[in-house]
Structure 1
Amino acid sequence: MTLPSPSIEYFLLCPMLIVFAVAMAGVLVEAFLPRRFRYGAQVILALGGLVAALVAVIVVARSIPASGRRTVLGAVAVDQPTLFLQGTVVLVAVLAVIFIAERRQVASTSKIAVGAGRLRGLDSFTPQASAVPDSDAEREAERAGAAQTELFPLALLSVGGMMVFPASNDLLTMFVALEVLSLPLYLMCGLARHRRLLSQEAAMKYFLLGAFSSAFFLYGVALLYGATGTLTLSGIRNSLAAHTDTSMALAGVALLSVGLLFKVGAVPFHSWIPDVYQGAPTPITGFMAAATKVAAFGALLRVVYVALPPLHEQWRPVLWGISILTMAVGTITAVNQTDVKRMLAYSSVAHVGFILTGVIADSPAGLSATLFYLVAYSFSTVGAFAIVSLIRKPDGSDGSEDANLSHWAGLGQRSPIVGVMFSMFLLAFAGIPLTSGFVSKFAVFKAAAQGGAVPLVIIGVISSGVAAYFYVRVIVLMFFTEGSDDTPQVVAPGVLSKAAIALCAAVTLILGIVPQPVLDLAEHAAQLVH
C-alpha cells in the first residue's frame, strides 16, 4: 500500500504563513528584546507583517484560476471568496493594530480630584496583566510606564486563525483554525486598563461559553464523520447525496452549526456578546466585532454552500427562524440600552440576522452580497468602536471611557468632527442612503427576495426601521441636547489613529456613493471551489 505524499503549495499559503511567522517573531521579541525597545519593535513588526500579507493576498488572487485551488491534501481551499475574506480580515487587523498601539497620554489638569497629577490618555490596556486589580503592583507598573506588548503577537495569532478559518476545506482544519483564532481573543478580552474586574469577567464568560461551543462543534464533526466516513466538505456532500438516511448527519450538522452560529453571534447563541463587548478593551471589541464575523461567516458560507446542498430543504427553514429571531432580538433589545458599547453589541446581533438573509439566498448573488456586507460592516464597526475609545470621563476622574449614553448629551456640540463621524457610522448601521449600510442591506435583501425569501426581507426591512430609532436617538442626543458637567471629553488620538478613523469614515461614505467597484469585486469572488 502506498500513501500519497503531501502536496503543499507554499505560494498559495503564503498570506497565512506570513502572519504566523510574524506572530512567532513577535513572541521572540518578547523573549529576547529589552523592555524599552519592545513596543516600537512590535508595532513595526505587526504592521509590516500585515501589509506584506495583504500584498501576498493580492498576488495570489491574481495568479489562481477563477475556480480556485486546493492544497495540503485538500484540507485548504484557496479560491476567490477565501482571498476576498482574507484581505478583509487583514485590512481590519491593520486598523485594529493601530488602535491597539495607541498610547497617547496627557497630564490631568485637575487640581482637586483624586486622580490629579496622573497621566490620562488612550492606553486601553492594563500595564501588568498578572497584577491583582487595584493592587500596589498594578499601581507601580502604571507609574513605571509599563505596557502590554504581548498584545501584538496575540492579535496576529488570532488573525492567522481567522485567515485559515474560511479557507478550511475539511472539518478538522476548521476546528483547529477556530481554536487558534479564539484562544488569543479570550486572553485579550481580560486586559482592560480600567474596570479590570468587568474585563476579567468578560474574558471568563467568553472562554467558558466558547469552550462549550467548541465542544458542540467537535461533537458535530464526530457525528458527520460517522455518517459520511469523511471530513472533507466535498466528500460530505457526495456522501449525503448518495444516501437516503441522513438522520445522524442532520444531528451532526445541528451541533456543528452551534459552534459556527456562536462565533457569528446569532440568536440564541448571542448571550456572550453584550457582556464581552462591554467588558473587553474597546480596540479589542472593535477587532472582534468585525474580523471574527468576517472569518466565521466565511466558514459558515463554505459549510452551507459546499457541504450541505443535499440537505438544502432541511437547513434553510432553520436558518430562516434563526435569522428572524436574530434580527428581532438584536433590534428590540438595543432600543432600551443605556450603555453605548452594549447598544452597539446588540446592534451587531441584529446585523448578523441581516447577513444571514444573504446566506439563506443560497445563490451566487447571495454569496456576493454577503461578501460586500461583511466589508462594509467591518469598516463601520471598527470606526464606531474607535470613536467610543476616544470618549473619556471629564478631567479629574480616572480617565476611563465614558460609555454612559446619558452623558453623551451635547457631545457633538463640543466635538463636532467626532460627532459627525460617529453619526456617519450610526447612519450606515441604520441603512440610510448614501452610506455603505444602505447598499449592503439592499444587496442582501435583493438576493434573498430573488431566492424566494420575500417574507424574510419584509421582516428585515421592518427591523431596519425599528433600529433606525435608537441610532437617530444617539445623534439627537449628541447634537440637539444641551450638555452638562457630566459631558465627557474627547481625547485626541495620535496621527495614525486619526488617519485610521478617517479611512473608516471615508470607506463608509464611498461604498454608499460609488459601491460598484467593490460590488463587482465581490461578484467576481462569488465562486467557491468544490
Structure 2
Amino acid sequence: MNAIIALSLFGISSLFLGFLNNRKILLPATLIFILIALGLNFADWNHEYFWFNGMLKTDNLSINFSTVILVAALLVVAISRHFGDDEEHSHPAEYYAIMLFSVVGAIMMVTYENLIMLFVGLEILSVSMYVLTGSDKRNLRSNEAALKYFLMGSFATGILLFGVALVYGATGSFQIHGIGAAVNEAKAQMGGQYGPILMAGTILIMVGLLFKISAAPFHFWTPDVYDGAPTIFTAFMSTVVKTAGVAATYRLLSTSFPGMYGLWGNPLVYITGLTLIIGNITAVYQQSFKRMLAYSSISHAGYLLITVLAKRPETNSSILFYSLAYSIATISAFAVLIVVSEAKAKAGKADESFDALNGLAKNNPFLAFVLTVSMLSLAGIPLTAGFFGKFFIFTDAFANPSILFKGLLVIAILMSAIGIYYYFKPIIAAYMRNGDTEKIEISPIYKYTLILTTALTIILGIAPDLVKKLF
C-alpha cells in the first residue's frame, strides 16, 4: 500500500518535473521513484495488512507479484532510449507520469480484496495504456491501435462490470473472501448446484479478465495494438499488464470461486488450449519481429493459465517464477529491437521485420548475444530461466489426474516445440545472414540494463531455487 501511495505522489512529481527545461533529469528521477517504491514494497514483507476498510490486502503473495511488476517497470524505463528527444512532438514528463500511474493500477490489481478495487485498478491501468498506445500522434498505426484498444477494452470492462453486478446480486458481497463463503454456502444448500445469476456473473468476470491477458478467443486486439504502439510501451504492455492480469485472475478464481471449479475449470482448459495453438501457430507466419512477439505474448498467456488451472500448493511460486522469467526475456528482446529499429530509421530504412536483424552479430556481437539469450529463454531452452518456468508449469499440470488436463499438457508440449522454430528466426538472422547493420552505440545505462537482464536469465536458468524459494 505504501508503494501505491508513493507511486501516486511520484507520478504527480514527474508532471511538475516537466516544467524544467532539462529533460535529462526525467529518466533518472523515474528510476529513483520506482526503486523507492520497490523498497517500500519489501518493507511490508511478512506483514498482513488491510487497507481502506478491507478493500486492499497486503500479504507476501501480493508483495511478490508487485515486485515482478515493479522490476519490469524499472527495466522498461531504463531502456527508454532517446525517449522524448523530439522536443516539438513528445512530452516525456507526461509519459513517465502515466507509466507510474499505470503501475499503481497494476499493483491494485494484485492487492485487491474487493471487486470494486479490482475495477478501479483495472481502469487506471487500462486508461493509461490507451493513452500511451496512441502517444505517437503522427503515426497512423499508433492512432488505429489506440482506437481499437480503447473500443474493445471498453466493451471488455463493461462485460466485467456486468459480471461483478451479477455476482454481487447472487452473493451480497463485493469482498472476494465473502463471495467465496457465499459460494460454499450455496453449494452446501443446493446440493452442488448454483443459481444462474451466480454462474453468469462468474463467466462474465472471467471474460473481462481473459481479455486483459490476451487469451483466445479474446486476443484479437493484441497483434494490432502491440504492433502499432511505440515499441517501448509495447514492452510495458506485454510484461506489466500481463503480469497484473494473470495475478488478478488467479487471485479471484483461487479465493472466490474454487468451489465452482467445475463451472469455470473445464471451459478454461479449452480456452487455454486454444490460446496456445493460436498464439504459437500464428507466430510462425509473422514476418515482423514485433508482431511475432505479440503472438508470442498470447502463447505465454496460455502457459500461465495452465498453472492457474493446476490448483496445487506450488502454483503461487510457479506463476511468479514464470512471470519474472518471461518479463525479463521479453524486455531484453524489445530492447534489442528498439536500438536496431532506431538505427535503421536514422539510415532511412525503418524496419521492424526479421530482416532488420540480418548480420547483427558482425558489428554488434553484444546485442546479438542478448537477443540470443532472450529468444532461448522464451523458447524454454535449458540453462535459461524460461526452461525452468515451463518445467515448473508442466510439473504442476502433470500432477493433475484429469484426462482433459493430460490432453492440455500434450498440446502445451507440442506448442513449445513449435515455439522453438519461430524463436530461432531472429537468432538465424543475426548470425547466419548478411546485413548492413552498422555499429550501434548505446548508452551506459542501456548497456548495464541488458547485462542485468541477460545475467538474470542465465542465473535463473542455472539456479532457479535462488528466486523460487523466495516465492
- TM-score where L is the length of structure 2: 0.94
Partner residue, 1:23 = 11
Tell me, in whole angstroms, the C-alpha distance in 1 between the residues paired with 2:342 and 2:247.
38
Shift of 1:148: 3.1
Tell me how far 1:44 sits from its aligned partner: 3.6
1:216 has 2:159 as partner: yes
Unpaired runs of 5+ residues, structure 2, are: none
Distance (whole Å) between structure 2 residues aligned to residue 233 and residue 401 of structure 1 = 49
- 1:28-59 CA-to-partner distances (Å, cap 9, x unmatched) read 334xx34x13x234334322211111111111
Contact 1:220 1:253 in 2 (8 A): yes
Within 1, Cα distance between the matches of 2:202 and 2:171? Answer: 12
**1:336 partnered with 2:288:** no
Instruction: Indicate the residue corresponding to 2:432 in structure 1.
Output: 480
Residues 318 and 392 of structure 2 are in contact (CA less than 8 Å); yes or no, is this contact kept in structure 1? yes
- Give the whole-Å Cα distance in 1 for the aligned partners of 2:141 and 2:440: 23
Tell me whether 1:14 sits opposite 2:22 in the alignment: no
SS at match of 2:92: coil
1:242-257 map, 5 Å: 242-243=185-186, 244=190, 245-257=194-206
Where structure 1 has 5 or more consecutive residues not aligned to the other structure, the ranges are 1-12, 104-122, 129-140, 523-530
Q: Does the Cα contact within 8 Å between 1:15 and 1:56 map onto a contact in 2?
A: yes
Q: What are the superposed Cα offsets for residues 175-226 of structure 1, whole Å, 9 maximum, x if unpaired?
A: 0000011111111111238x71111111111111111111111111111111
Question: In the alignment, what sits opposite 2:234?
Answer: 285
CA drift at 1:99: 2.1
Q: Is the 8 A contact 1:219 1:252 kept in 2?
A: yes
- Pairs within 5 Å for 1:75-86: 75-86=55-66
Mapped contact 1:392–1:488 kept (Cα < 8 A): no
Aligned partners of 2:65 and 2:439: how far apart in 1? 33
Matched residue type, 1:43: L
Matched, 1:49 2:29: no
Q: CA RMSD in A?
A: 1.9
What is the identity, as a one-letter code, of the residue corresponding to 1:456?
L
Which amino acid counterpart does residue 97 of structure 1 have in structure 2?
A: V
**Structure 1 residues 41-440: aligned runs within 5 Å:** 41-62=25-46, 64=47, 68-100=48-80, 102-103=81-82, 123=83, 127=86, 141=88, 147-192=91-136, 196-243=139-186, 244=190, 245-392=194-341, 401-440=350-389
TM superposition shift of 1:412: 2.3
- In the alignment, the residues of structure 2 paired with residue 78 and residue 445 of structure 1 have an alpha-carbon distance, to the nearest angstrom, of 29
Q: Aligned match of 2:459 in 507, 510, 514?
A: 510
Residues 267 and 326 in structure 1, CA contact (< 8 A), matched pair in contact too: yes
Amino acid at match of 1:515: P
Deviation at 1:399, TM superposition (A): 5.4
* Alpha-carbon distance in structure 1 between the residues aligned to 2:394 and 2:123: 32
Give the letter aligned to residue 223 of structure 1.
Answer: L
> Compared with structure 1, are the counterparts of its residues 19 and 397 closer, same or farther at alpha carbon in structure 2 (3 Å cutoff)?
closer
Q: Distance in 2 between matches of 1:491 and 1:94?
A: 23
1:150 match: secondary structure: helix
Alignment of structure 1 residues 515-530 onto 2, 5 Å: 515-522=464-471
How many angstroms does 1:401 deviate by? 4.8
Q: Which amino acid aligns with 1:353?
A: G
Q: Which amino acid aligns with 1:25?
A: S
Distance 1:249 1:431, change over 3 A: same
What's the secondary structure of 2:235's corresponding residue? Answer: helix
Distance 2:74 2:430 in 1: 29
Matched AA of 1:413: K
Larger radius of gyration: 1
Query: Residue deviations 1:52-87, cap 9 Å, x none?
Result: 11111111114x1xxx33332111111111000111
Aligned residues: 462
The CA deviation string for residues 448-487 of structure 1, in whole angstroms up to 9 with x for no partner, is 111233222221111000110111232122211233xxx4
Letter matched to residue 50 of structure 1? I
Tell whether the 8 Å contact from 2:15 to 2:93 is kept in structure 1 after alignment. Answer: no
Q: Percent identity?
A: 32
Between the aligned partners of 1:394 and 1:359, the Cα distance in structure 2 is: 41
Q: Within 1, Cα distance between the matches of 2:161 and 2:329?
A: 33
Q: Aligned pair in 2 of structure 1 residues 463, 394: CA closer, same or farther (>3 Å)? A: same
Residues 126 and 192 of structure 1 are in contact (CA less than 8 Å); yes or no, is this contact kept in structure 2? no
Alpha-carbon offset, residue 238 of structure 1: 1.0
